[in-house]
Amino acid sequence: MSSPRATLLLAIEDALKRITQANGYITNAGHTITREPAPVAGEAESEFVTVVWSRQDRATDVALARTHRATTVQVIAKVAARMNNAQSRLDDITTDIETAMADQQFRFPVGYQFPQYQSAEPLMPQQSTTGWIGVSIAYASHIPIRRPAA
């Protein structure tokens, strides 16, 4: 049985797998999705998205405090870019992720709150590695606390 965190990440991953030009998106980042916590953003050859949980806290809704955890998830993506189109490519991948996550409540099991957008920040390559631009988008959800079997 998967942990509640793994279930949440899989549901988000399923939504993001749709990011392909064949599905009407701007990029093909959905072809390569991982749940590895530390992707090497500057070294991968292709566009990619990774989904990792980054934080858990006490539920922010008092009614859920004993049954759920507030869980923050980072959606990190990288796309190829040149100096003259980096800002545009950053907007492309950010738009694709936000679009792919919109209206996907049906992917999340009963008891899981649909992830709510929190923030986004650009990821810039180091000067020694160029040719890409990235974004990290934070989403938050309340997920059930896993209880040991009795």
pLDDT in tens, 5-51: 999 999 999 999 999 999 999 999 999 998 876 655 445 557 889 99
User: Is 150 within the bounds of a domain?
Assistant: no
User: Is 96 within the bounds of a domain?
Assistant: yes
Domain interval for residue 105: 4-144
pTM above 0.85, yes or no: yes
Please count the CA atoms within 13 angstroms of the CA of 72 that sit on its side-chain side. 14
DSSP state letter for 147: -
| CATH code assigned at 89 | 3.30.70.1700
Per-residue pLDDT tens digits for 86-141? 999 999 999 999 999 999 999 999 999 999 999 999 998 776 556 889 999 999 99
User: Is 30 within the bounds of a domain?
Assistant: yes
Residue carrying structure tokens 């649909």: 114
Count other C-beta atoms under 10 Å from residue 131's C-beta. Answer: 12
Cα 41 to Cα 2, 80, 97, 141, 147, distances in angstroms: 27, 11, 17, 25, 35
DSSP state letter for 66: T
